[in-house]
Amino acid sequence: QVQLVESGGGLVQAGGSLILSCSASGRSFSSYSMGWFRQAPGKEREFVAAISRGGRTTNYADSVKGRFTMSRANNENKAYLQMNTLEPSDTALYYCAARLAPPYMTSQRQADYSEWGQGTQVTVSS
């Protein structure tokens, strides 16, 4: 089991950038596929990005492709979400999630993830 803590959120102008971090404590971080999800006010939580255990496979929502990049550093027990060219529609609470998974596998399904952080707020002003 891992415990997840997100950081790096904040207020940024449209067109700007932020890097979100997800720090994991516990055992065997490299056994977990990781994901980022977000929930905007009045909307359901949605998939943003996912990365496989070793970082070789990534998967993105269409709305963030080409703007967001997910990565991980297993030696640091961390996952990252680099967000560029931010838009007001990216405003949301961003969650990090983890799932035990085979190598090279990712998932967009929230139900596949067993561990969740508390979230970090990202606000993009126009």
The total of other beta-carbon atoms located within 10 Å of residue 59's CB is 18
Would you place residue 23 in the very low, low, confident or very high pLDDT band (cuts 50, 70, 90)?
Answer: very high
Would you place residue 26 in the very low, low, confident or very high pLDDT band (cuts 50, 70, 90)?
Answer: confident
Q: CA dihedral in degrees (53, 77, 6, 113; nearest 10)?
A: 30
For residues 20-40, give the mean pLDDT: 95
The pLDDT value given to residue 27: 76
Question: Is the pLDDT at 1 greater than 90, yes or no?
Answer: no
- Is the sign of the CA dihedral 17, 23, 29, 31 positive or negative? negative
